Amino acid sequence: MNLTLASFLYLIAAVAFIVGLKRLQSPVTARRGNQLAALGMLIAIVVTLLVTDIISPWIVVAGLVVGGGIGGFLAQKVEMTAMPQLVAAFNGFGGGASALVAAAEFLSVDSLPLRTDITIVLSTVIGAVTLSGSFVAFGKLQGLISGQPVGYPGQKLGDPLVAVIIVGLSIWVVLGGSALVLWILVLMAMILGVIRVLPIGGADMPVVISFLNAFSGLAASMAGFVIESNALIISGALVGASGLILTNIMVKAMNRSLGNVLFGAFGAAAMEGGPGAIGEKPVRAATADDVAVTLAYAGSVIVVPGYGLAVAQAQHNLKELTNLLEERGVEVRYAIHPVAGRMPGHMNVLLAEADVEYDKLYDLDQIQDDFPRTDVALIVGANDVVNPGARDDETSPIYGMPILDVDKATTAIVIKRSLSPGFAGIDNPLFYMDNTLMYFADAKRAMTDLVAAVKEA
């Protein structure tokens, strides 16, 4: 195939990626957008196979078959709750592939121009950090590694030392270092990925996988500089931008800074209040029948789902409950906090799986003003995102974090197993308010009992 024609076809692939992403701006066009991007990818792959002199076709075929098999299998089998770790793993593979491409380019040619050496080093380092960091994130999300921050003695000196070694080795490679130096560089970059992600707590993983997403895009872009491919540079830049935007949204929703998530441990302040302060104040406990009556005779209900709902696998039961309420003429909407799940937009996917129509799901900004006009806010498996302390109490460790104003509804019903504080260990003043009903139960059990009780009501 003619190289100019190939360049135009690569351009068409890049345009397909951009238009595909643009169609993700609405749920109506999103699916076709993703398919268009996939078509663009197919074009890029076919063109590459046609223009490249392939002297070892079996290696290419074996890689495609093995990779396609594993990728396809994982995509079909994964539970929607496990989506964050799957995306983390895919990020890792993408970063790893970019690092390998750059390393192989370095090994295949004896002397490279300076600019190629620089981009090879960047691509290898960013790709290797993405690879190891993503798999640590995967391990934490999958529960293979402790979700608690894990450090090592002397980390404050050790981390900068590893970073300095990486910079030194990078310069060495650019100035003519051998393949061995490059491999040591890869190893050090992978160590950096591990020691930087291990100390980050499980609750901060949404930020980490968004950030690593940006990194995998950047690595692809750098690989594009190495092999002089505009299609790669463009696609990598798109993904880098996407990852950075999502990182920024997550960080804002948690009221943190990126530096604070990546380099500071959370929870030191939260411990000072001590667990002794929790559970001593009176609460209004309610039974399934109380809650069912309150819901059944309400005019409007806003459901605030949290990750606890998904952990209990109670989304389908919740859907059944809201169907019953809607049959009785109750207006039901859902309020989704940006950090309701374990990755950006995760809760929307979990509810879509349970057949909840997406036009009933509202973002924080869209629904916040409606709470004062709502009869019941039903909180299932959420805690910190409805903690009024974040809004009112300057001494609260999460002060300033945007929350859903559920306490402004006429009645707030909290379904929770006990009064124990959430992941961050912070007490929630919502539980002790006069207009709050506490319904102590496991989310799934609560939903099935409520379905039965609403039928009776």
3-state SS of 257-317 is CHHHHHHCCCCCCHHHHCHHHCCCCCCCECCHHHHHHHHHCCCEEEEEECHHHHHCCCHHH
* Min separation Cβ 28 and another protein, Å: 8
* Min separation Cβ 292 and another protein, Å: 25
Q: What is the DSSP secondary-structure string of 28-39?
A: HHHHHHHHHHHH
Closer CB to another protein, 288 or 361, in the complex: 361
Closer CB to another protein, 91 or 294, in the complex: 91
> Residue 9: which H helix or E strand, with range?
helix 3-23
Task: For residue 353, give every residue at least 6 positions away whose Cβ sits within 8 Å of its Cβ, in sequence order, or none.
Answer: 80, 315
- First vs last C-alpha separation in the chain: 72
Residues 354, 443 contacting (CB under 8 angstroms): no
* Min separation Cβ 272 and another protein, Å: 33
Closer CB to another protein, 212 or 376, in the complex: 212
Closer CB to another protein, 14 or 200, in the complex: 14
Structure tokens at 197: 């992600």
Which is nearest to 397 in space by CA: 272, 269, 276, 277? 269
Q: Give yes or no: 384 in active site.
A: yes
Q: How far is residue 43's CA from residue 32's CA, in Å, rounded to a whole number? A: 16
Structure tokens at 267: 């929870």
Q: How far is residue 133's CA from residue 446's CA, in Å, rounded to a whole number? A: 38
> Of all residues in the chain, what percent are helix, strand and coil, respectively (each to 5)?
65, 5, 25
* Min separation Cβ 337 and another protein, Å: 10
Pairing type for strands 436-440 and 411-416 reads parallel
Placement of tokens 């790709």 in the chain: 127
* Min separation Cβ 353 and another protein, Å: 5
Catalytic residue, chosen from 117, 384, 427, 449, is 384
Q: How far is residue 192's CA from residue 155's CA, in Å, rounded to a whole number? A: 11
* Min separation Cβ 452 and another protein, Å: 25
* Min separation Cβ 336 and another protein, Å: 7
Q: What is the DSSP secondary-structure string of 344-371?
A: TTHHHHHHHHTT--GGGEEEHHHHGGGG
Q: How far is residue 456's CA from residue 234's CA, in Å, rounded to a whole number? A: 59
Positions annotated as catalytic residues are: 384
